Amino acid sequence: MTHDPVPERSAHTRRTVLKSTAVAAAGTVAAANLTSVAAAEPVRTVAGGGPVEITLSVNGQRRRVVVEPRVTLLDALRERLGLTGTKKGCDRGECGACTVLVDGERIKSCLTLAVMRQDTEITTVEGLARGERLHPVQAAFIRHDAFQCGGCTPGQIMSAVACIDEGHAGSEAEIREWMSGNLCRCAAYQNIVAAVADAAKEVRR
Amino acid sequence: MTGLVGRGVERVDGRAKVTGAARYAADNAVNGVLHGALVMSTVARGEITELDTSAALASPGVVAVYTHENMLPLTVPPDFPYPKRFIPLQDTRIHHNGQPVAYVVAETLEQAQEAATLVRVRYRVAPPTALLADALDEAFLPRDFRGRPNETVRGDAAAALERAEVRVEQEYTSPMQHHNPIEPHTTTAVWDGDSLTLYESAQGVVLTRMVVAQAFAKYVLEQDIRVVSPYLGGGFGAKGPTWSHTLLTAAAARLARGPVKLVLTRAQMYTMNGHRAEYRRGLRLGATRQGRLTAIVDTSTAQLTRTEESIYNTSNSTLHLYACPNVHVRQLGVRLDLPTSSYMRSPETTAHFGLETALDELSYEVGLDPVELRVRNHLPAGPPASKYLLECYRMGAKAFGWARRDPRPGVTRVGDEYVGWGMATETHTYNAIPSFAELTIDEAGRATLRVASQEIGTGTYTVLTQVVADGLGMPLDHVTTLLGDTAFPAAAISAGSSTMPSVVGPVSTAARNARDAVVAIAVADPRSPLHGVPAADVVAEHGQLFVRGDRRRRDSYRDVVRRHGQAVVVNGSGPNTPGHSFGAVFVEVRVRPRLGAVRVSRVVAAYDPGRVLNHRTAHGQVIGGVTWGIGFALMEHTVVDRNTARVVNPTLSTYLVPVCADTPSVESYFVDRPDPASKPALGARGFGETPGTGVPAAISNAIFHATGRRLRDVPFTQDKLL
């Protein structure tokens, strides 16, 4: 996968850093850049094997949790923190059902370890609504019938929030492309596209 | 009736689904739950000779490892809906690659998964037969399945074919495919003494309970088993039958003396829960020069196993769709060393793909428009059923602009792409299964429906809530529908497009009975403003009860039930009969000749599903079914290795399903007239599996129109067009 250049935005400096890290990991940037990124990341060592107590900041709440280092963020959310809104579909980063936001950026929570995500702000589908008031993307999904069974829906919604935030919801074709990392086996795709386009208008207003 | 039925209201479970509040089977927090992990066989045929669990048992957190040596002895349930003829971990025999050979139970998921990698298994191996092509000379006619024969004869097809003025004789093939619901199969088994609760990803809670009771006949009574499945993250047939992981998890929980939760891995879902079998179909059509069918000989060969011989993808459309006096259908099979196949969304697509492609070939042979050819062979429904298929052809063709089609293949180019238009009839059988419902009107004037049906994404919560609100004359938000629990009255499995035809009758009857019961209480109660009014003169709207013609004289559900002092509880039933739904689908494809890449750029479809109960959810079934048709035609293909009989692409990055960028927006139209033959279901037929059945053929036909190349072997991958 290739990344478009990320525009510098003051609100998202950390996102930009993370994106550079991802690109660096893929071995597509110069070593000099890699060094500067490494310097920007806090160094954290975790003892191999045994459980460790960590603090995760999820939906604005700091939650202490004891996990082995091998526990994915997805399994920490679902099996330890009781946040089962985030779904496990494939556990391999292929379906997108486990998409959450980490510092505003969409990631597949099955492909990252919980211990790696300390000092970040994690947002799951449970954290989008403000009380009874749904997030515009959630409301648009209901309005446009952008789901059927609901199994992929939390991931679709988190992905859609980020897709709009990234500026990738400019046209139907663009939405189709940038929402293609989230499978919907019920295939509500055209309604998902309509919901994302509609929510994008509202979010930008 | 307040006009709620039919309206495209938003889903009543929408908020639960978009906020993460909807509780799917693996989302239940069960105190002290242990985690299961399966160890799978790595050979396809043979016997376990040695099984070493010592390293797994020594691994941290491991509670137990169950194998054929220490697993609870279980009884193989006699028949479908337990499709397998064996239960794993009961003996040493290996029937297919990816069969469970050990079940690890540990305190955490990670501990169970790690320990599963530490179980060492040795086998005595026999060489497997993996591919249909390698065993065609062993094809045989399997025994009847679920009361249906595999050979059907009408007239004398061989003689008619011999005499036919025009013949089309071709072979059509389709590969093994997997359902791949986003939610993996999962079971959490909780024993309390001799009663068992299963939090289960099940399309049918009642049948799951029956199968579990059969397997555990020595240990538990059916009435002491509860199966809970209020939400399902997609099933598509994979969660219709009950599979061995459910039985093994219940057994492990009993032996481990603690609740156990198992979630299958994605890879395990390619050997544990059925698939659409690989098919080869020889089709021979005979017709007059005017295009009237005189003979159809449909001989298919399906992949079976050495332990099962069930044919799931039947040739129903060959038998029932068109007027043809001479038909001979034979559904053969060959035994392979593979997991059993099963039903997968719209199982009749496999046969229908061949029929509808062959008809397109016939249309070119006789020089007729493909729509006109189908109109000439139209078979009206037998009374009392309706069949508005001719209207579907007209509506779909008009919306698509079919009249502008130049029939010559390969003449339309836009830029560097060839453009082709193709069409096909869509049809599928639906089932109707006896079902029951219970409706409670409480002292707050609210209604609660309980029925052991399921929400599999098709909109069951929403449509049943509409039916209740409409029947009672109550606002939609005063009605709560509860599903997916064997504690509720028994209802149909959500498979075979059976939910609406089976459940709407009992639910609407319950609503009518409840309304009548409350009205009867009101008119008999001297404290009611309706006292003494003939019950037939009372109308219900928005939760209020009025005297017809005098709306000031009124009572309400709330006040009547409150004065009555206790909730009003009624039941409903309403048996229905199976049938067929119909439609016509028109597609446009773009083919890039240098790459062989096919893109579906436009789809228009028109349907006759009887009465439409909710246009929004009906449209949802259309876009889903059409997209499944696109996946069937262009990408889905499970690959089995010839030497090991192992699925080599058990992941979603190697088994391709359509993504958002692969799909066009689909336009749908509905005739929307009630079918008198489905009166209990308010004129609605089963519909979910009809959309998409014609799409693979329509795409094949459109590719022919675009390029002049006739493809008969799905999926139509790029290599086949180069």
Look at residues B270, B292, B315 and tell me which one is the last residue of a structural domain: B270
Contacts by residues B369-377 (CB-CB < 8 Å, ≥ 24 positions apart) = B369/B405, B369/B407, B370/B422, B370/B423, B370/B701, B371/B397, B371/B402, B371/B423, B371/B584, B372/B291, B373/B291, B374/B322, B374/B425, B374/B584, B376/B290, B376/B291, B376/B292, B377/B291, B377/B292, B377/B293, B377/B322, B377/B323, B377/B324
Contact between residue A86 and residue A150 where contact means Cβ atoms under 8 Å apart: no
Per DSSP, the residues of B644-703 read T--BS--STTTS----GGG-PPEEEEE-----GGGGGGTTBPP-TTSTTTTHHHHHHHHH
Of A91, A177, A185, nearest to B265 by CB-CB distance is A91
Whether B148 maps to a domain, the answer reads no
Mutate to test the interface with B, among A145, A161, A179, A192 (most CBs of B within 10 A): A145
Residues A143 and A122 in one domain: no
Whether B689 sits among the annotated catalytic residues: the reply is yes
Full residue range of the structural domain in which residue B537 is found: 14-21+432-573
Residues B480 and B620 in one domain: no
Full residue range of the structural domain in which residue A151 is found: 136-204
What's residue A15's pLDDT?
39
- Write the CATH number for B121: 3.90.1170.50
User: In this structure, how many other beta carbons lie within 10 angstroms of the beta carbon of residue A123?
Assistant: 20
Residue A22's SS3 state is helix
Q: What is the mean pLDDT of residues A11-27?
A: 38
A46 pLDDT band, cuts 50/70/90, is low
Whether A175 maps to a domain, the answer reads yes
Contact between residue A190 and residue B619 where contact means Cβ atoms under 8 Å apart: no
Whether B143 maps to a domain, the answer reads no
Give me the total of CB pairs closer than 8 Å, taking one residue from chain A and one from chain B: 180
Q: Do A180 and B24 touch (CB under 8 A)?
A: no
Look at residues A127, A152, A176 and tell me which one is the last residue of a structural domain: A127
Structural domains counted in chain B: 3
What average pLDDT does chain B have?
A: 97
User: In this structure, how many other beta carbons lie within 10 angstroms of the beta carbon of residue B49?
Assistant: 11
Distance between CA atoms of residues B485 and B410, nearest Å: 55
**Total-model pTM:** 0.94
What residues in chain B have per-residue pLDDT under 50?
none
pLDDT value at A34 more than 80: no
Residues A33 and A57 in one domain: no
Residues of A whose CB is below 8 A from B233: 87, 89, 149-152
Residues B492 and B591 in one domain: no
Task: Quick: pLDDT tens for B419-477.
Answer: 999 999 999 999 999 999 999 999 999 999 999 999 999 999 999 999 999 999 999 99
Nearest residue in chain A measured CA to CA from B692: A187
What's residue A43's pLDDT?
52
Distance between CA atoms of residues B485 and B238, nearest Å: 19
Residues B426 and B483 in one domain: no
What average pLDDT does chain A have?
A: 84
A44 pLDDT band, cuts 50/70/90, is low
Residues A70 and A122 in one domain: yes
Residues B436 and B411 in one domain: no
Residue A191's alpha-carbon distances to A89, A147, B101, B187, B623, in angstroms, are 21, 8, 43, 31, 9
What's residue B712's pLDDT?
98
Q: Do A187 and B627 touch (CB under 8 A)?
A: yes
Task: Quick: pLDDT tens for A169-195.
Answer: 999 999 999 999 999 999 999 999 999
Q: How close A90 comes to chain B (CA, Å)?
A: 5
Distance between CA atoms of residues A115 and A110, nearest Å: 13
Q: Do B20 and A71 touch (CB under 8 A)?
A: no
Whether A47 maps to a domain, the answer reads no
pLDDT > 90 fraction of chain A, expressed in percent and rounded: 74
Whether B108 maps to a domain, the answer reads yes
Contact between residue A157 and residue A141 where contact means Cβ atoms under 8 Å apart: yes
Per DSSP, the residues of B329-396 read EEEEEEEESS------SSTTHHHHHHHHHHHHHHHHHHT--HHHHHHHTB-PPPTT----HHHHHHHH
Task: Quick: pLDDT tens for A88-117.
Answer: 999 999 999 999 999 999 999 999 999 999
Task: Quick: pLDDT tens for B129-184.
Answer: 999 999 999 999 999 999 999 999 999 999 999 999 999 999 999 999 999 999 99
A45 pLDDT band, cuts 50/70/90, is low
Whether B166 maps to a domain, the answer reads no
A204 pLDDT band, cuts 50/70/90, is confident
Residues B478 and B422 in one domain: no
Nearest residue in chain A measured CA to CA from B664: A190
Q: Do A188 and B620 touch (CB under 8 A)?
A: yes
Distance between CA atoms of residues A127 and A130, nearest Å: 8
Whether B601 maps to a domain, the answer reads yes
Whether A91 maps to a domain, the answer reads yes
Whether B355 maps to a domain, the answer reads yes
Distance between CA atoms of residues B106 and B260, nearest Å: 9
pLDDT value at A149 more than 80: yes
Residues B476 and B600 in one domain: no
- Write the CATH number for B296: 3.30.365.10
Residues of A whose CB is below 8 A from B656: none
What's residue B439's pLDDT?
98
Look at residues B573, B593, B627 and tell me which one is the last residue of a structural domain: B573
Distance between CA atoms of residues B329 and B311, nearest Å: 13
Contact between residue B554 and residue B522 where contact means Cβ atoms under 8 Å apart: no
Residues B677 and B638 in one domain: yes
Whether A200 maps to a domain, the answer reads yes
Residues B283 and B263 in one domain: no
pLDDT value at A32 more than 80: no
Look at residues B527, B547, B573 and tell me which one is the last residue of a structural domain: B573
Distance between CA atoms of residues B494 and B504, nearest Å: 13
The HSE-up count of residue A33 (CA atoms within 13 Å, CB side) is 15
Whether B2 maps to a domain, the answer reads no
Q: Do B651 and A182 touch (CB under 8 A)?
A: no
| B176: enclosing H helix or E strand | none
What's residue A21's pLDDT?
38
Residues A123 and A142 in one domain: no
Structural domains counted in chain A: 3
pLDDT value at A40 more than 70: no
- Write the CATH number for A105: 3.10.20.30
Whether A76 maps to a domain, the answer reads yes
